[in-house]
Structure 1
Amino acid sequence: MSLPESDRDLVVEELGREPTPAESALFENLWSEHCAYRSSRPLLPAFESEGAHVVIGPGDDAAVVEVPTASDGDDRYLTFGIESHNHPSYVDPFDGAATGVGGIVRDTLSMGAYPIALADSLYFGSFEDEHSKYLLEGVVEGISHYGNCIGVPTVGGSVDFHPDYEGNPLVNVACVGLLPPENLLTAVAQEAGNKLVLVGNATGRDGLGGASFASEDLDEDAETEDRPAVQVGDPYAEKLLIETNERLVSEDLVESARDLGAAGLGGASSELVAKGGLGARIELERVHQREPNMSPMEILLAESQERMCYEVRPENVDRVAEIAERFDLGCSVIGDVTEGNYVCTYRDDSGERETVVDVDAEFLGEGAPMNDLESVAPEAPPTALPDPEPDLMEAFEAVLASPNAASKRWIYRQYDHEVGVRTSVGPGDDAAVLALPEVTAPVAERDPSRDAASVADEPVGLAISAGAAPNWTASHPVVGAKGVALENATNLAATGARPLAAVDCLNGGNPEKPDVYGGFAGIVDGLASMCSTLDVPVVGGNVSLYNDSVSGPIPPTPTLAMVGSRPGVDAPTAAVEPEGALLLIGNDDGPSAALGGSEYLAQFGGTDEGPDLPRDPGARVDAIVAVARDPSTRAVHDVSQGGLAVSLAEMCTDEIGVSVTLPDPTTAAGAAGILFAEGPGRVVVQSTDPDRVRDLVGDAGAVRSIGRPSDDGTLSIDVGDATIECAASRLCELRSTITDALE
Structure 2
Amino acid sequence: MLDTVAVAAEDPHAEQPWAELGLKPDEYQRIREILGRRPTSAELAMYSVMWSEHCSYKSSKVHLKQFSEIPQETPVGKTLAGIGENAGVIDIGQGYAVTFKVESHNHPSYVEPYQGAATGVGGIVRDILAMGARPVAVMDPLRFGPLDAPDTHRVLPGIVAGVGGYGNCLGLPNIGGEAVFDETYLGNPLVNALCVGVLRHEDLHLAKAIGVGNKVVLYGARTGGDGIGGVSVLASETFDADGPAKRPSVQVGDPFMEKLLIECTLELFAAGTVAGIQDLGGAGLSCATSELASAGDGGMHVELDRVPLRDSTLAPEEILMSESQERMMAVVEPAHVEEFLAICAKWDVEAVVVGEVTDTGRLEIDWHGERVVDVPPRTVAHEGPTYHRPFARPDAQDALQADAAEALPRPSSGQELRATLLRLAASPNLCDKSWITDQYDRYVRGNTVLAQPSDSGMVRIDEETNLGVALATDGNGRFARLDPYAGAQLSLAEAYRNVATGGARPLAVSDCLNFGSPEDPAVMWQFAEACRGLKDACLELGVPVTGGNVSLYNQTGETAILPTPVVAVLGVIDDVTRRTPSGFGAAGERVFLLGETREELSGSEWAHVVHGHLGGLPPRVDLAAEKALAALLLDAVGLATSAHDLADGGLAQALVEATLHRGVGATVEVGVDPFVALFSESAARALVTVTDADAERLVALAAEHGVPLTPLGRTGGDSLVVDGVLDLPLAELREAWSATLPAALA
Q: TM-score, normalised by structure 1?
A: 0.92
By how many angstroms is 1:221 displaced? 4.2
The answer to whether the 8 Å contact 1:124/1:161 transfers is yes
**Separation of aligned partners in 1, 2:726 and 2:618:** 25
Match of 1:690 among 688, 692, 695: 695
The answer to whether the 8 Å contact 1:164/1:551 transfers is no
Match of 2:391 among 371, 375, 380: 375
By how many angstroms is 1:133 displaced? 2.5
**Separation of aligned partners in 2, 1:622 and 1:388:** 35
Q: Which runs of 4+ in 1 moved over 4 A?
A: none
Please say if 1:664 is aligned against 2:672: yes
Please say if 1:501 is aligned against 2:508: yes
The SS at the match of 1:678 is coil
**Separation of aligned partners in 1, 2:499 and 2:654:** 16
Please say if 1:674 is aligned against 2:694: no
For 1:133-282, list aligned pairs within 5 A.
Answer: 133-210=153-230, 211-221=232-242, 223-224=244-245, 226-282=246-302
For 1:572-583, list aligned pairs within 5 A.
Answer: 572-576=580-584, 577-583=586-592
**Separation of aligned partners in 2, 1:368 and 1:170:** 26
Q: 1:626 to 1:366 in 2, by over 3 A?
A: closer
Deviating more after overlay: 87-96 vs 477-486: 477-486
1:268-327 superposed Cα distances (whole Å, 9 cap, x missing partner): 111111011411111111001111221111111100000000000111111111111111
Equivalent residue, structure 1, for 2:346: 326
Match of 2:440 among 415, 420, 423: 415
**Separation of aligned partners in 2, 1:326 and 1:12:** 46
Q: 1:68 to 1:621 in 2, by over 3 A?
A: farther
By how many angstroms is 1:627 displaced? 4.5
| AA partner of residue 408 (structure 1) | K
By how many angstroms is 1:423 displaced? 0.5
**Separation of aligned partners in 1, 2:105 and 2:168:** 19
The SS at the match of 1:315 is helix
By how many angstroms is 1:522 displaced? 1.8
Please say if 1:345 is aligned against 2:366: yes
1:511-562 superposed Cα distances (whole Å, 9 cap, x missing partner): 1101111111122122222222111111110111011113611111111111
Match of 2:41 among 13, 21, 27: 21
Equivalent residue, structure 1, for 2:15: none
Alpha-carbon RMSD across the aligned residues, in angstroms, is: 1.6
Equivalent residue, structure 1, for 2:6: none
Please say if 1:365 is aligned against 2:390: no
The SS at the match of 1:519 is helix
The gaps in structure 1 that reach 5 residues or longer are: 70-74, 348-352, 439-456, 666-670
Equivalent residue, structure 1, for 2:742: 739
By how many angstroms is 1:458 displaced? 3.6
Equivalent residue, structure 1, for 2:651: 644
Q: 1:628 to 1:469 in 2, by over 3 A?
A: farther
How many residues are treated as equivalent by the alignment?
701
By how many angstroms is 1:618 displaced? 4.7
By how many angstroms is 1:257 displaced? 0.4
Please say if 1:472 is aligned against 2:483: no
Q: 1:232 to 1:190 in 2, by over 3 A?
A: same
| AA partner of residue 657 (structure 1) | G
| AA partner of residue 687 (structure 1) | V
The answer to whether the 8 Å contact 2:590/2:689 transfers is yes
The SS at the match of 1:499 is strand
Deviating more after overlay: 100-109 vs 359-368: 359-368
**Separation of aligned partners in 2, 1:193 and 1:615:** 52
The SS at the match of 1:695 is helix
Match of 1:599 among 605, 626, 632: 605
The gaps in structure 2 that reach 5 residues or longer are: 1-17
The SS at the match of 1:168 is coil
The SS at the match of 1:121 is strand
Equivalent residue, structure 1, for 2:11: none
By how many angstroms is 1:715 displaced? 0.7
Equivalent residue, structure 2, for 1:723: 725
1:84-124 superposed Cα distances (whole Å, 9 cap, x missing partner): 10000000000000000000010011111110010110000
The SS at the match of 2:292 is helix
By how many angstroms is 1:190 displaced? 1.5
The SS at the match of 1:459 is coil
Equivalent residue, structure 1, for 2:13: none
Deviating more after overlay: 142-151 vs 644-653: 644-653
The answer to whether the 8 Å contact 1:496/1:624 transfers is no
The answer to whether the 8 Å contact 1:256/1:311 transfers is yes
1:478-501 superposed Cα distances (whole Å, 9 cap, x missing partner): 111111101001001101100011
By how many angstroms is 1:433 displaced? 1.5
**Separation of aligned partners in 2, 1:153 and 1:220:** 36
| AA partner of residue 172 (structure 1) | N
* Aligned-residue identity in percent: 38
**Separation of aligned partners in 1, 2:635 and 2:737:** 29
The answer to whether the 8 Å contact 1:612/1:678 transfers is no
**Separation of aligned partners in 2, 1:608 and 1:643:** 17
1:341-384 superposed Cα distances (whole Å, 9 cap, x missing partner): 1011101xxxxx22111100011112222112111236461224
The SS at the match of 1:82 is strand
By how many angstroms is 1:128 displaced? 1.5
Deviating more after overlay: 16-25 vs 544-553: 544-553
Match of 1:400 among 425, 430, 450: 425
The SS at the match of 1:164 is helix
